[in-house]
Amino acid sequence: MTIYSADPTAKYVSIFCEGTEANPHSIWRIGTYRPERDIDAPAGAPAYWSESKTGYQSPESDTLIPINGKSIARLAGDKHVSREESRRNPDALNQGDSRTRFRFECGVCKKLVARRAEAVFPLFDKLSSVGVSVLSLNALAARL
Ligand SMILES: [Zn+2]
């Protein structure tokens, strides 16, 4: 397994779950998200946040911790569009009903927060601008 170094200067938002105060559990790392700027995006538009494939970043570690699964789905209507599919057929994601959905799900307590990218991107921009890089799933749910 490849171990990736964390870039301490990179902007990121990491989401984890440790259950609730009443029902705590060991940490489950859901994902790390990084902003990508679309060169065609108008000034002031939220960044496009994509999922880190190399691992979970936190201030406590110099390396990225491997994570299982992925939490971003691209949909056209009710149909999932894979990255390979969208590369083969770029129009698949350029329909009026296409969208990107985030599914933040804890593998331990099964808490699930699913939102469209349109709701998630501005929140991640805001968190990042005030220096918040790690957030619990409960805190995320309260802000979405
Ligand atoms: Zn949990």
Six-digit token pair at 35?
A: 């902003």
User: How far does the centroid of ligand 1 lie from the alpha carbon of residue 114, in Å?
Assistant: 14
User: What contacts 70, CB < 8 A, 6 or more positions away?
Assistant: 31, 51
pTM of the model: 0.84
User: How far does the centroid of ligand 1 lie from the alpha carbon of residue 110, in Å?
Assistant: 6
Does residue 56 lie in a domain region? yes
Does residue 115 lie in a domain region? yes
Give the DSSP H/E element, type plus range, for residue 102: strand 98-105
Does residue 123 lie in a domain region? yes
pLDDT, one tens digit per residue, over 19-54 is 999 999 999 999 999 998 666 767 777 788 999 989
The Cα diameter of the chain in Å comes to: 48
Does residue 43 lie in a domain region? yes
List the domain range (segments joined by +) for residue 136: 13-70+103-143
Does residue 119 lie in a domain region? yes
pLDDT, one tens digit per residue, over 123-139 is 999 999 999 999 999 99
User: How far does the centroid of ligand 1 lie from the alpha carbon of residue 144, in Å?
Assistant: 17
Q: What percent of the chain has pLDDT over 70?
A: 90
Does residue 60 lie in a domain region? yes
Does residue 107 lie in a domain region? yes
d(CA 7, CA 11): 9
Per-residue model confidence (pLDDT) at position 80 = 77
* Dihedral angle, C-alpha 42, 123, 16, 79, nearest 10 °: -60
Does residue 120 lie in a domain region? yes
130, amino acid identity: V
Into how many domains does the chain fold? Answer: 1
